[in-house]
Amino acid sequence: MRWRAEKHTPYLLLSPAILTILFVVAVPLVFSLYTSLTPYRLTKPDSINQFIGLRNYERLLDDTKFWWAFGRTILFLTIALNLEFLLGLGIALLINRITWGQRTLRTIMMFPMMFSPILVGFQFKFIFNDNIGILNNALQSLGLTDGAIPWLVERDLAMFSIIFAEVWMSTSVFAILLLAGLFAMPKDPLEAAKVDGCTPWQVFRHITLPFIMPFAYIAMTIRSLDVARAYDIVDVMTGGGPAGRTELLWTLIARVGYDNAKMGQANAMAYVSTILSILFTWYFFTKLVAARRYMGGAA
């Protein structure tokens, strides 16, 4: 009897979590899949009963705006995540060398991580403002430029500004976790390698890097869980402008779904972005699990 009870306990303990996720995520996603097969518009509630098959998805294939936003999102994420990883690694190695004030530096590094994305967006809207922003003011006071640089108005600069804000917000995640990896690293192999005459690069490449990679995967997994928070930044900084040049998949979804009230079409787009995010998270999570198994074997 006791054994039977024991068998059901974990499921019982997990049931609140499962029910919440079913109610708030799983059921809405099923509903969203259905909605994406209808021409549903918020202004015409009856249109939700009209089944049109995959027509919304077919329309996406011809929708240049969608593909531009799709491509831009991929580009944005590729640049931002690679920069965050490289900068985070650099920062972690840098702080690891410092012997005095290390903990204070680490605390300061945590702060961007805790900023609301909407605040990060606002902060950089303020700083990159062409008229009153501290950046243009500084550049002009130093005599580096005469005119005001239109950071958020010129299309390439606007994209740059958004990536800057994103990298500023999220590099800390990588830096802190990689630093934790460096702290946890045993010192013996490093010294042994030095005695054996390895160059610093060889030590880094073959000892340090493999050891801290699981920590990088944790960071990647945490990041991939909420890549879409870049939506907040873009929404407040440029709103997708100028002329749609910073439109990402997520801002496009909001525009089509809420501003144009085309819920069916927006849900089809949302499905594409959801699948993208899930694949991304899944990829890094399996990497993490594999690395974890490897670490477990070593420890």
Partner 1 sequence: MTSLHKRQVKAVLTWIATFILMIVMCVPGLWVVLSGFRPNREILAKPPVWIPEDLTLDNFAAIFGLSDAQVAIPVIDYFANSMIIAVTSTAIALLVGMSGGYAFARFRFGGKNALFLGLMLSRAVPGIALSLPVFIIWSHLGLIDAPMGLIIVYVALNVPFTIWLIDGFFRQIPKELSEAAQVDGCTRWQAFWKIEFPLARSGIASAGVFAFLTSWNEYALASQLTRSTDSKTLPVGLMDFTAQFTIDWAGMCAMAVIIIIPALILTFLVQKHLIAGLTFGGVKG
Nearer of residues 20 and 145 to partner 1, judged by Cβ: 20
> Under the phi-then-psi rule, with left for phi > 0, alpha for psi from -120 to 50, and beta for the rest, what region is 37?
alpha
Q: Are 56 and 37 in contact (CB under 8 A)?
A: yes
Give the shortest CB-107-to-partner 1 separation in angstroms.
Answer: 6
Q: Using the CB atoms, write b or e for 35-49: b if 16+ within 10 Å.
A: bbbbbbbeeeeebbe
> Under the phi-then-psi rule, with left for phi > 0, alpha for psi from -120 to 50, and beta for the rest, what region is 154?
beta
d(CA 268, CA 128): 34
Nearer of residues 20 and 78 to partner 1, judged by Cβ: 20
Give the shortest CB-38-to-partner 1 separation in angstroms.
Answer: 11
d(CA 226, CA 219): 11
Nearer of residues 88 and 193 to partner 1, judged by Cβ: 88
Give the shortest CB-97-to-partner 1 separation in angstroms.
Answer: 5
Give the shortest CB-168-to-partner 1 separation in angstroms.
Answer: 7
Give the shortest CB-64-to-partner 1 separation in angstroms.
Answer: 21
Q: Are 217 and 128 in contact (CB under 8 A)?
A: no
* 44 phi/psi in degrees, rounded to 5: -125, 85
Q: Measuring CA to CA, how many Å separate 263 from each of 29, 34, 39, 276?
A: 13, 11, 8, 20
Nearer of residues 68 and 115 to partner 1, judged by Cβ: 115
Nearer of residues 243 and 299 to partner 1, judged by Cβ: 299
Please name the amino acid found at residue 194: K
Give the shortest CB-34-to-partner 1 separation in angstroms.
Answer: 9
Please name the amino acid found at residue 245: R
Nearer of residues 159 and 169 to partner 1, judged by Cβ: 169
